């Protein structure tokens, strides 16, 4: 199979869909890999690294879309890319179709077979191609929050780990899933006094079993959450209700009860945010102040560490990419119901029920 990897064209996207290591494995499986010149530069992979891995470099996205049987990307195809997709071609990337009717209609019209990273599942009901980005965002959250806590950056001037004789920062992590667990581990590793709140008792039990004493766990009742937010130097918002907007757990009125210069890191901003005063920000201008409380609300946090994110995503996508290339998408999906769950569009039809329900399109 010919696997094509174009340069990402969405603004501020530095990741790349196929790593040199993945290209080398695909070549070893007898496939041809075509990478657009410069596609890996943002993640630190120059063309020569791909050439050494056995890939071929193409000058343009047009050349790749024209030749490849399967396009492997990171972000959803932009309008110009959708115009280049053709009938029978496979597209393997993040799509996030539910809030995006224009993209959905274009993909249906293209006749391509579109497999979305975000709906591929694993045997435990997890989302293995979303998890690596949650891990990255979770580990980044305390790092960005710690920077924001510094006085010159608008924060309270509190050091995460304290020093001998001075208490560490208090960190409340709301949501103990993938993001929250990784955020808690890093914050605790920096020496902060960390409490993780979740509404799932089984999840809190699992965290308690796994991380004995590394951080505290607390049931996320409204009163417990409000109390932890009031006492915190940093709050990490890491909740997710699948298929729904994030619940608003801190109101504007609550900000006046918080410590001046405290920091809210709203990782759930890509689902609308879990603080009433959150609005999406960018890596260029990540932080703003509301009533003396600093807000960090970058919607694509993994982009800040494009190299790590590319490698983490590449590790997760590789087995699926190889299965599709080795067997063809039909057989690969027949063999693996988890991959089949990724199928969102095929041959002019929407095939994913939740997207159809969200957009009012027959599936
Ligand atoms: P997850 O499903 O692994 O965890 C979410 C947790 O939130 C669950 O344990 C759930 O029980 C808990 N929860 C739900 N409602 C709650 C409430 N009211 N109070 C306390 N806990 C509650 O999800 P995840 O992978 O950790 O993702 C968390 C959020 O981070 C999602 O919104 C995701 O889209 C977002 N995210 C953002 C970025 C970014 O760049 N900003 C990157 C990755 C993920």
pLDDT digits (tens, 9 = 90+) for 174-192: 999 999 999 999 999 999 9
pLDDT of residue 241: 86
Q: What are phi and psi of 266, to 5 degrees?
A: -100, 85
Question: Is residue 8 over pLDDT 80?
Answer: yes
| Predicted confidence (pLDDT) at residue 360 exceeds the cutoff of 70 | yes
Q: What is the mean pLDDT of residues 155-172?
A: 98
As a whole number, mean pLDDT of residues 42-68 equals 98
Catalytic residue among 198, 254, 266, 270: 270
261 pLDDT more than 80: yes
Is residue 281 pLDDT above 80, yes or no?
Answer: yes
User: What is the 3 state secondary structure string of the chain?
Assistant: CEEEECCCCCCCCCCCCCCHHHHHHHHHCCCEEEEECCCCHHHCCCHHHHHHCCCEEECCHHHHHHHCCEEECCCCCCHHHHCCCCCCCEEEECCCCCCCHHHHHHHHHHCCEEEEHHHCCCCCCCCCCCHHHHHHHHHHHHHHHHHHHCHHHCCCCCCCCCECCECCCEEEEECCCHHHHHHHHHHHHCCCEEEEEECCHHHHHHHHHHCCCCCEEEECCHHHHHHHHHHCCEEEECCCCCCCCCCCCECHHHHCCCCCCCEEEEHHHHHCCCECCCCCECCCCCEEEECCEEEECECCHHHHHHHHHHHHHHHHHHHHHHHHHHHCHHHHHHHCHHHHCCEEEECCEECCHHHHHHHCCCC
- Specify the pLDDT at position 244: 72
- 134 pLDDT exceeds 70? yes
Of the listed ranges 204-218, 234-248, 253-267, 331-345, the least confidently predicted one is 234-248
Tens of pLDDT, residue by residue over 9-47, are 998 899 999 999 999 999 999 999 999 999 999 999 999
Integer Cα distance of 234 and 264 in angstroms: 6
Which of 10, 182, 238 maximizes ligand 1 atoms within 8 Å of its Cβ, making it the mutation to test the pocket? 238
Q: Which of these CATH numbers, 2.60.120.560, 3.40.50.720, 1.20.120.420, 3.40.190.10, describes 131-299?
A: 3.40.50.720
Asked if residue 317 has its Cβ within 6 Å of ligand 1, the reply is no
What band does 242 get if pLDDT is binned at 50, 70 and 90?
confident
Q: How far is the CA of 269 from the centre of ligand 1 (A)?
A: 10
Give 177 Cα–ligand 1 centroid separation in angstroms: 6
Measure the CA–CA gap between 255 and 269, rounded to whole angstroms: 18
Which residue spans of the chain are classified as CATH 3.40.50.720? 2-120+306-359, 131-299
Q: Give 145's pLDDT tier (boundaries 50, 70, 90).
A: very high
Confidence of residue 5 (pLDDT cuts 50, 70, 90): very high
CATH number of 2-120+306-359: 3.40.50.720
Closest CA to 91 of 76, 109, 106: 76
Give the pLDDT band of residue 125 (cuts 50, 70, 90).
confident
| CB of residue 220 inside a 6 A radius of ligand 1 | yes
Q: Kindly report which listed range (98-102, 126-130, 158-162, 193-197) carries the lowest average pLDDT score.
A: 98-102
CA of 35 to the centre of ligand 1 (A): 34
Active-site option among 47, 96, 100, 326: 96
Which band of pLDDT confidence, cut at 50, 70 and 90, is reported for residue 166? very high
CA 298/CA 160 separation, integer angstroms: 21
pLDDT band at 243 (very low <50, low <70, confident <90, very high): low
Instruction: Tell me the average pLDDT of the chain.
Output: 96
Quote the ligand 1 centre to 254 CA distance (angstroms): 21
On the question of pLDDT at 271 being above 90, the answer is no
Q: What are phi and psi of 172, to 5 degrees?
A: -110, 125
Q: Which position has the higher pLDDT, 125 or 21?
A: 21
Q: Mean per-residue pLDDT for 250-274?
A: 96
- Please determine, for residue 296, whether its predicted confidence score (pLDDT) is greater than 80: yes
Cβ of 126 below 6 Å from ligand 1: no
């Amino acid at each position: 199979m010919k696997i094509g990897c174009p340069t990402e064209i969405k603004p501020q996207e530095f990741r790349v869909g196929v790593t040199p290591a993945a290209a080398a494995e695909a070549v070893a499986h007898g496939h041809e890999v075509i990478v657009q010149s410069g596609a890996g530069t943002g993640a630190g992979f120059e063309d020569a690294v791909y050439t050494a891995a056995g890939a071929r470099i193409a000058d343009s996205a047009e050349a790749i879309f024209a030749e490849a049987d399967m396009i492997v990307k990171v972000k959803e195809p932009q309008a110009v890319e959708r115009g280049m997709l053709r009938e029978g071609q496979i597209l393997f990337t993040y799509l996030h179709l539910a809030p995006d009717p224009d993209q959905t209609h274009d993909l249906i019209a293209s006749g391509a077979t579109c497999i979305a990273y975000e709906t591929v599942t694993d045997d435990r009901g997890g989302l293995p191609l979303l998890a690596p980005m949650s891990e990255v965002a979770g580990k980044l959250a305390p790092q960005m929050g710690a920077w924001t806590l510094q006085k010159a950056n608008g924060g309270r001037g509190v050091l995460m780990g304290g020093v001998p004789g001075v208490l560490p920062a208090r960190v409340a992590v709301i949501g103990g899933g993938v993001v929250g667990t990784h955020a808690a581990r890093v914050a605790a590793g920096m020496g902060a006094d960390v409490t993780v709140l979740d509404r799932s008792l089984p999840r809190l039990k699992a965290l308690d079993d796994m991380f004995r004493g590394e951080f505290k766990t607390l049931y996320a009742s409204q009163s417990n959450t409000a109390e932890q937010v009031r006492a915190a130097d940093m709050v990490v918002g890491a909740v997710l209700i699948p298929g729904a907007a994030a619940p608003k757990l801190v109101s504007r009125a609550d900000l006046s009860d918080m410590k001046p210069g405290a920091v809210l890191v709203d990782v759930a901003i890509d689902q609308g945010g879990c603080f009433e005063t959150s609005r999406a920000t960018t890596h260029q201008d990540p932080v703003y102040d509301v009533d003396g409380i600093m807000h960090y609300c970058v919607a694509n946090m993994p982009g800040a560490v494009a190299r790590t994110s590319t490698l983490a995503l590449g590790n997760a996508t590789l087995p699926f990419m190889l299965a599709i290339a080795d067997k063809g998408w039909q057989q690969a999906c027949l063999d693996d119901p988890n991959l089949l769950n990724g199928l969102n569009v095929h041959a002019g039809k929407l095939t994913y029920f939740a997207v159809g329900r969200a957009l009012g399109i027959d599936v």
